[in-house]
Amino acid sequence: MSGRPQVTLKIATSLDGRIATARGESRWITGEDARAAVHRLRAAHDGVLIGSETAVVDDPELTVRLDEAVAKQPLRIVLDSRLRLSPSSRLMKTLAIAPLLVIGARDADRSLVAALETAGARVNLAPRGLDGLDLEAVFEALKTEHGVDRLLIEGGGRVAASCIAAGCIDRMEWFRAPILLGAEGRPSIGPIAMASLSAAPRFTRVAVKEVGADLWETYERAN
């Protein structure tokens, strides 16, 4: 993809790569130190992106919350092809703290567009792709129209898989907690339609550090 932001994928998982229990419980898999590191990551990026499932199920704020002052809150971005985000969500209730951009499909219900805009969110409509929205068009618009040069993706598994399959992840920040959730837990990365082992996306580990009881691993895309 040309003309897109530098994209970092943040994942917080159990040792066996799960982001939640089978029932969706995920607060908190990692500890306080790891969560503080994530807030510092947010502060270092222009935009923070999640999918609609994460927005609806987890109802996050996606704001930077640190003891020290934050120069600027990143643009919060939700990929929401059907515009399911509720005007009463935490994302909407915190518009005074940080801006919100909801990206829907071009065939989305215009009444839903109007409802979100009336509530104070920005809404962009993008073409559909093979699995939801056309990521190339979305990311190029984020850079050219919204000034997002550094983008942090925070979930969930389907969005992570789509971005990996599209080859647009430049860096991964992976936080691993010393717990096991088993095969019934929700995977951190959904299906990526990999045909063979030789086709597997490859990354190079460039750093590992301890953050409290958790491990923080940094990977860069292998050339």
pLDDT at 153: 96
Residue with tokens 């009444």: 111
Q: What is the CATH number of the domain that holds 87?
A: 3.40.430.10
Average pLDDT score, the chain: 91
Total number of domains in the chain: 1
What pLDDT, in 10s, does the model give residues 34-66? 999 999 999 999 999 999 888 988 889 999 988
Indicate whether 185 belongs to any domain. yes
Task: Reply yes or no on whether the pLDDT at 71 is more than 80.
Answer: no
What pLDDT, in 10s, does the model give residues 120-145? 999 999 999 866 899 999 999 999 99
In the predicted model, what is the mean pLDDT of residues 58-86?
89
pLDDT at 130: 67
Share of the chain above pLDDT 70, in %: 98
Task: Reply yes or no on whether the pLDDT at 112 is more than 50.
Answer: yes
pLDDT at 184: 92
Task: Reply yes or no on whether the pLDDT at 154 is more than 70.
Answer: yes
pLDDT band at 26 (very low <50, low <70, confident <90, very high): confident
Q: What is the DSSP string of the chain?
A: --S--EEEEEEEE-TTSEEE-TT---TTSS-HHHHHHHHHHHHTSSEEEEEHHHHHHH--------SS--S-PPEEEEE-TT----TTSHHHHTTTTS-EEEEEETTS-HHHHHHHHHHT-EEEEE-EETTEE-HHHHHHHHHHHH--SEEEEEE-HHHHHHHHHTT---EEEEEE-S----TTSEESS------SGGGS--EEEEEEEEETTEEEEEEEE--
Indicate whether 1 belongs to any domain. no
Task: Reply yes or no on whether the pLDDT at 1 is more than 70.
Answer: no
In the predicted model, what is the mean pLDDT of residues 184-212?
91
Q: 124: domain range? A: 6-221
Task: Reply yes or no on whether the pLDDT at 28 is more than 80.
Answer: yes
pLDDT at 129: 82
Share of the chain above pLDDT 90, in %: 71
Task: Reply yes or no on whether the pLDDT at 3 is more than 60.
Answer: yes
pLDDT band at 2 (very low <50, low <70, confident <90, very high): low
Indicate whether 204 belongs to any domain. yes
